[in-house]
Every structure is written in C-alpha cells, then in structure tokens.
Amino acid sequence: MSLHFTGEHEWIRVEGDVGTVGISNHAQEALGDIVFVEVPEGGRSLNKGDDAAVVESVKAASDVYSPVAGEVIEGNPALADDPALVNRDPEGEGWFFKIRLADTSELDGLMDEAKYREWVKTL
C-alpha cells in the first residue's frame, strides 16, 4: 500500500491497481467546517486532473481533482449523510472515491507523504 499526494492537496492510497482518493488534513483545515460533499458515481471514467468531486464548507466550495486516470469504482456513500466525516478523518474514513488506475506510472509524478508534509510547511 502506497500513499501519494498532489499539489492540490488530494491524496491517493494505492493497493494493487485500486486507489482510494481524498483530501489532505491540510486541505480540510483550510476549508473549515465541511457541510456538503458530492462524490462521483461508479463507472465514471476520469483523466488525471479531471474534476472528480465537490466539497463545500462554511468558507468556500472547492473541486477535488483526480490524481490519476481510471474508472471510478465507487463514491463514499457515508459523505452524503455525514460530510463532516472529512473534517474528523480526512485521510481515512473521509475518503471521496475509489478508482481503478489506468496507468500506475502516473503515480510517479506525485509526492510521497514525507515530501508533501515538508512542502505544506512552505505554504
């Protein structure tokens, strides 16, 4: 299992050819109290960088981008009833969607956890 981050604060945890995607703790802290999340439906094809989901907080609405290309397996159904789950556990149970990776080499352009945490300190 490997964990990667984008410069837009998405994370992807990969097991085999399936990635689980969410937003980082830094992102949810910047957004504040999350009040609504829209996740993609299973079967949707995404390219790397496509708008995949929407997250709204008391401060702002933001798009969540797909860190890789592939086919969405499922959106997290728990977020419809409890969007604040993203605030409570952004890098765990507050995941947004699962995707079957089209090309695992796309992960090479992402940051590992240590590099991401160091980069966030510079913001």
Per the structure block, which two tokens stand in for 20? Answer: 């689980």
* Phi, psi angle pair for 120, to nearest 5°: -60, -35
pLDDT at 1: 79
Domains in the chain: ranges and CATH:
2-103 (2.40.50.100)
DSSP 55-87: EEESS-EEEEE-SS-EEEEEE-THHHH-TTHHH
Residue 29 burial (C-beta neighbours within 10 Å; 0-12, 13-18, 19+): exposed
The C-alpha atoms of residue 67 and residue 106 are separated, in whole angstroms, by 8
Q: Which residue has the tokens 């940051």?
A: 111
Task: State the pTM of this model.
Answer: 0.97
Per-residue pLDDT of the chain (123 residues; tens, 9 = 90+): 799 999 999 999 999 999 999 999 999 999 999 999 999 999 999 999 999 999 999 999 999 999 999 999 999 999 999 999 999 999 999 999 999 999 999 999 999 999 999 999 999
